[in-house]
A and B are shown apart, each in its own frame.
Chain A
């Protein structure tokens, strides 16, 4: 008997297939659609109806004849130039326009300037008018541009799978509003993302006023702001901290990754770098010192001078112990009891803080419990830091219900209509809520979202959201400054704006978001509204709207009792009861950016993983689980954590984490630097309904995340699935150049004694100089008249008016990867997909090499038989690496077709149309910075690369082509490419200078001013680590940077004379700390390796030697 499966009937949308480019009218078959059809197809199409077979063959024969002779093929294809019908103000064909806007994210925003070509945004930069950021931008802000052109975004409003017109949607929303107006909102609920928009806040206030019985809940899966209760406990006020890190000379981070996460990360990183930057030995004493206590290895931890590995759930005890010392009280002793940290660590750290009253700062991670924040506040108050390194500003009271409260109401059955505005609760709501079932139990769910995702799949109505670059809005930055969210382009797919959605529900007459924002802004200020608003848009911010500091804060007398009452009990963390730390991913955040190819392919700053997340475990735990790879032979000085690698492909073990009866399964990555029994589960992956990029990448850690323990949980166990391996696209071994003093670092004391330490390291320090006088010769001369005679290479002629060079300060680079994505956006760099990354074919022109070092292990470890361990607590050093623009470039010598040659301004240029793809240049590049187009990355989707011409159906969607920078060639298959120092920006700056000078009547003034041309990486860098400019200008910033004693060239002994040089890294450890090392660990390690034990002596603190893990 034939069995019948009862499949649900396919929806109309499914039958139509994914039609991204067509209008929603087509899906809805509106009356206008027929007319549209007539217009769209050429007349020939309909005329063919009347052609009979005979005529058809005649026509075909004629066209074949023409084709056969080949006349048609030889004709030049006709191209058109399409000017506007009507002139446009300010638009000059070929010149970009810049507009201020901002990227809203949770309760903050990043002010931006968007570059648009003929109304098409192509690049985002930080808005320099906003002082705290100084024109910097972040990884996510740079990549958010790609989301605008995402072919997988929701393109139509849907109701039960069928398309809904904009008018029908408006009616539907108005009907909902009207229906609940009678019951004053009873039965209506909203679940929204948090937002800093003043306009939305006003609309929500009105909504709650007119529909008081409706539930307004907000849910964010990742908390990035400290809880307000902490300030209530410490000061009795509703305030939150705003840090002024530039003035802080001693910084203690209690599990806080303030350099990368958090609403003010950009400002904090920039200010931190200010306190970190050292120009001369005389100023070295001003350098700040960073203490970090953390469970995972974060970007902030990588910058630490003293890093303490401690379970996140033990941080309250640490905070209590530290507070006891700083405040001189033993009131917190009960909380600090049983802490497994050397008392000297805490005592000396506290002493250092006390020695810098008013110039120190204690920060706590947003995920830490209230008690830790309160203790940090009390310490800052006692140290006199308030008003100096930290200000407290009024925090808006949390007016919204939580998702748990909403769930309770839904369970009670009293929600009839649920709006889900943004977010993705079906994917990332706490697992104990069973959100999917809850959502299904609500009769009417109206979902507003950018993608048709997990949540939309369970919603009756999906409203397509607009991108922030295509609709009006406003937002506040972390310090409260109001910024405009200005659209750059009309909505690509008739999406709806959240503000207008709310007005439709409210039944307002005014639903236009521009008008709403206009009224909000002009209502806040006096004077001529039109002028105010224009100024607001021009500046990209509303001057003077930052939150004012709240004065007169004093600790509550009963704070200690309240803290002890609020503090959680210190749990036992061990091999049988692991701690789990849920951390927002650096790239996909909480999953909202999962479908962004740039972010997916960007290597994680620490783990270097792309396209996946992994369960991160410490080497100790890995040893106990018996999954350590066999270690043998010589380990390189700057080692990488070992996993099982087959031809550079990481074959990760697969494990199952059990937590509270729930399980999650994922690949394991052994990550040195983790607290021994903490495992890190990065959020933001494992999407089941995203787009073609995000779906199926990684695993979803939310599966074991429950309401009470959203960020840190204990009591987990882990099990290895035997004989199962998973390939991770890990880039850490790609392009590696270990072991030749690539990174040169010193401690501040050493730097003061020997400022030119960087020059004393490395092979060139031990070899006779190529030109004995070259050290004395000024840079200006060296850059143009290279000492000849000692190189096999002919010296190119450097007779240009500018000689470009770059200096990268390793001391301030935090490894945030903003430069990587900025470069990708500026230079049309394609993504290649996981499969190709695994093969080592990623295309990023700039990479940030992450090196580990650990000089605390025994001498015998190097190449010795007793080397059986992975360092548990390494020091991290970072080095951005792009084409070094060698003056005597090895790549040029081997190119058979002169495709890569020098220009007269010192750039090593690539002529793509000359390149025949021999790849000799890449073979000969000592820095491994050349990238080869193995496939037509720009033409084919990443899953159709191998199909070649047969894959033409899977060509890149047209929409994605809109993101391209028209000033940069899109490279084809078989062509080599690499960093060009953003030659398009250089050339345009030169041209603009010439044009301006000629029109100002002074055509001889052709020198580009210092700072007029900035490379994409430099412009995005939040810590100003990259300096670029003209080496011939004695006043240029790059000249000054290169004149510093820390300046050195990577692989300088090759005499390739790179134009990019680095400033050696400095560490500022406290000599009184127990983990003090006279030399940075990398140097100790190098010394240990290169010199006998007798020379260097046994390393102290032998107790830090990791235990054998093959026991």
Chain B
């Protein structure tokens, strides 16, 4: 009886397994890299209807974050300023600038300026700004060096792991209450004031939720 299969076919099962391993590994590696918030979100910098420059306003001019995002310390949602807020200054400063035409039109008509959302938590995540900024977490921790960004981009991954890193070890990320809106200030730990951070955690009973109910409702 002749051989149905040639001899080289003996190695075939092993080869198939090997190839499958390589293929599986590649796919896994690809997915872990390309399908994570770190790849998909970081760097997202959409074109805004008004070329608002944070590095100018918050950096050079030193505007406090809360001048525009006025409810950030009371509401869960860090509001965008109304066109009226922009016009507080821009009715006097560069009142005729063509770049501000959209804002002026919005102020006249009451129609909103369609700002493109940069940082977006998934719908099932209920992030609350007020509780973070009131308890020593600076804007910079999640949004990056906004005061140096001419165009705002997504600086951090904002994945669940990112949140939990801080929630599991708040001591390394806390700032003194006075420095929360000072985007250039280092954390207490980085300043070598770890003891102070530990005291804050104790006195303020800082116990960031690690349970699902903290963020998912």
Query: Interface on A for B, CB 8 Å cutoff?
Result: 76, 78-88, 92-95, 800-801, 901-905, 907, 909-913, 967-969, 980, 983-984, 986-987, 991, 994-995, 998-999, 1003-1004, 1006
A904 is contacted by which of B41, B115, B134, B211 (Cβ under 8 Å)? Answer: B211
**A85-B107, A94-B79 are contacts. A991–B209 as well, Cβ < 8 Å?**
no
Contact bitstring B102-143, A, C-beta under 8 A = 1, else 0: 000011011111111100101110101011001100000000
Contact check, B75 vs A95: say whether CB atoms are below 8 A apart: yes
Contact check, B134 vs A86: say whether CB atoms are below 8 A apart: no
Contact check, A1006 vs B204: say whether CB atoms are below 8 A apart: yes
Verify if B24 is at the interface (C-beta below 8 Å from A).
no
Verify if B83 is at the interface (C-beta below 8 Å from A).
yes
Query: Which residue of chain A has the shortest Cβ distance to B68 in the bound complex?
Result: A83
Contact check, A999 vs B134: say whether CB atoms are below 8 A apart: yes
A87 is contacted by which of B84, B128, B130, B135 (Cβ under 8 Å)? Answer: B84
Contact check, A92 vs B79: say whether CB atoms are below 8 A apart: yes
Verify if B77 is at the interface (C-beta below 8 Å from A).
yes
**A82-B112, A995-B74, A999-B134 are contacts. A911–B216 as well, Cβ < 8 Å?**
yes
B217 is contacted by which of A95, A901, A984 (Cβ under 8 Å)? Answer: A984
Contact check, B216 vs A912: say whether CB atoms are below 8 A apart: yes
Contact bitstring B16-52, A, C-beta under 8 A = 1, else 0: 0000000000000000000000001100101000000
A80 is contacted by which of B75, B85, B114, B210 (Cβ under 8 Å)? Answer: B114
Chain B residues, Cβ within 8 Å of A800: 207
A86 is contacted by which of B71, B82, B120, B207 (Cβ under 8 Å)? Answer: B82
Contact bitstring B184-200, A, C-beta under 8 A = 1, else 0: 00000000000000000
**A83-B80, A83-B83, A86-B84 are contacts. A902–B120 as well, Cβ < 8 Å?**
no
Contact check, B71 vs A92: say whether CB atoms are below 8 A apart: yes
Chain A residues, Cβ within 8 Å of B46: 78
Query: Which residue of chain A has the shortest Cβ distance to B34 in the bound complex?
Result: A74
Query: Interface on B for A, CB 8 Å cutoff?
Result: 40-41, 44, 46, 71, 73-77, 79-85, 106-107, 109-117, 120, 122-124, 126, 128, 130-131, 134-135, 177, 203-205, 207, 209-214, 216-217
Contact check, B82 vs A84: say whether CB atoms are below 8 A apart: yes
Contact check, A968 vs B116: say whether CB atoms are below 8 A apart: no
Q: In whole angstroms, what is the CA distance A94 to B78 when docked?
A: 8
- Nearest CB of chain B from residue A615's CB, rounded to whole Å: 44
A83 is contacted by which of B76, B81, B131, B216 (Cβ under 8 Å)? Answer: B81
**A83-B83, A85-B109 are contacts. A94–B204 as well, Cβ < 8 Å?**
no
Contact check, B204 vs A1004: say whether CB atoms are below 8 A apart: yes
- Could you name 7 residue pairs across A and B whose Cβ atoms are closer than 8 Å? A86-B83, A94-B79, A904-B209, A909-B213, A986-B213, A987-B214, A1004-B205
Q: In whole angstroms, what is the CA distance A999 to B72 when docked?
A: 13
**A93-B71, A983-B213 are contacts. A82–B131 as well, Cβ < 8 Å?**
no
Chain A residues, Cβ within 8 Å of B122: 913
Q: In whole angstroms, what is the CA distance A81 to B69 when docked?
A: 13
Chain A residues, Cβ within 8 Å of B203: 1003-1004
- Nearest CB of chain A from residue B154's CB, rounded to whole Å: 10
Contact check, A969 vs B205: say whether CB atoms are below 8 A apart: no
Contact check, B110 vs A998: say whether CB atoms are below 8 A apart: no
- Nearest CB of chain A from residue B186's CB, rounded to whole Å: 21
Q: In whole angstroms, what is the CA distance A983 to B120 when docked?
A: 22
Q: Given known contacts A80-B116, A991-B76, what 14 new A-B pairs fall within 8 Å (CB)? A: A76-B41, A82-B114, A84-B112, A85-B113, A86-B107, A86-B110, A87-B85, A912-B124, A991-B128, A991-B130, A995-B130, A1003-B134, A1003-B204, A1004-B205
Chain A residues, Cβ within 8 Å of B204: 998, 1003-1004, 1006
Chain B residues, Cβ within 8 Å of A995: 73-74, 130-131, 134
Which 3 residue pairs are nearest across A and B when measured between Cβ atoms?
A94-B77, A903-B211, A82-B112
Q: In whole angstroms, what is the CA distance A987 to B167 when docked?
A: 16
Chain B residues, Cβ within 8 Å of A1004: 203-205
Instruction: Say whether chain B's binding surface is mostly helix, strand, loop, or mixed.
Output: loop
A85 is contacted by which of B73, B106, B207 (Cβ under 8 Å)? Answer: B106
Query: Which residue of chain B has the shortest Cβ distance to A999 in the bound complex?
Result: B134
**A909-B212, A983-B213 are contacts. A82–B75 as well, Cβ < 8 Å?**
no
Chain B residues, Cβ within 8 Å of A83: 79-83, 112-113, 115
Contact check, A911 vs B117: say whether CB atoms are below 8 A apart: no
A987 is contacted by which of B82, B107, B126, B135 (Cβ under 8 Å)? Answer: B126
**A81-B117, A84-B110 are contacts. A95–B74 as well, Cβ < 8 Å?**
yes
**A93-B75, A94-B75 are contacts. A903–B128 as well, Cβ < 8 Å?**
no
Chain A residues, Cβ within 8 Å of B106: 85
Contact check, A92 vs B126: say whether CB atoms are below 8 A apart: no
Q: In whole angstroms, what is the CA distance A79 to B117 when docked?
A: 5
Chain A residues, Cβ within 8 Å of B81: 83
Query: Which residue of chain A has the shortest Cβ distance to B83 in the bound complex?
Result: A85
Chain A residues, Cβ within 8 Å of B212: 901, 903, 909-911
**A95-B74, A969-B123 are contacts. A81–B217 as well, Cβ < 8 Å?**
no
Contact check, A81 vs B115: say whether CB atoms are below 8 A apart: yes
Q: In whole angstroms, what is the CA distance A691 to B114 when docked?
A: 37
- Nearest CB of chain B from residue A113's CB, rounded to whole Å: 20
Query: Which residue of chain B has the shortest Cβ distance to A83 in the bound complex?
Result: B80
Q: In whole angstroms, what is the CA distance A904 to B214 when docked?
A: 10
Contact check, A994 vs B135: say whether CB atoms are below 8 A apart: yes
Chain B residues, Cβ within 8 Å of A93: 71, 75, 77, 79
Contact check, A983 vs B217: say whether CB atoms are below 8 A apart: yes
Contact check, B82 vs A1006: say whether CB atoms are below 8 A apart: no
- Nearest CB of chain B from residue A1004's CB, rounded to whole Å: 5
**A984-B126, A994-B131 are contacts. A85–B75 as well, Cβ < 8 Å?**
no
- Nearest CB of chain A from residue B93's CB, rounded to whole Å: 19
Contact check, B82 vs A76: say whether CB atoms are below 8 A apart: no
Q: In whole angstroms, what is the CA distance A904 to B205 when docked?
A: 15
**A83-B83, A983-B217 are contacts. A1006–B71 as well, Cβ < 8 Å?**
no
Q: In whole angstroms, what is the CA distance A980 to B214 when docked?
A: 12
Contact check, A903 vs B115: say whether CB atoms are below 8 A apart: no
- Nearest CB of chain A from residue B111's CB, rounded to whole Å: 6
Contact check, A92 vs B74: say whether CB atoms are below 8 A apart: yes
Q: In whole angstroms, what is the CA distance A984 to B215 when docked?
A: 9
Chain B residues, Cβ within 8 Å of A911: 212, 216
A903 is contacted by which of B40, B111, B130, B214 (Cβ under 8 Å)? Answer: B214
Contact check, B213 vs A987: say whether CB atoms are below 8 A apart: yes
Query: Which residue of chain B has the shortest Cβ distance to A967 in the bound complex?
Result: B217
- Nearest CB of chain B from residue A279's CB, rounded to whole Å: 32
Contact check, A903 vs B213: say whether CB atoms are below 8 A apart: yes
**A902-B211, A904-B211 are contacts. A85–B71 as well, Cβ < 8 Å?**
no
Chain B residues, Cβ within 8 Å of A998: 134-135, 177, 204
> Which of B75, B77, B212 has its CB near the most chain A CB atoms (within 10 A)?
B212
Query: Which residue of chain A has the shortest Cβ distance to B44 in the bound complex?
Result: A76
Query: Which residue of chain B has the shortest Cβ distance to A74 in the bound complex?
Result: B40
Q: In whole angstroms, what is the CA distance A983 to B212 when docked?
A: 11
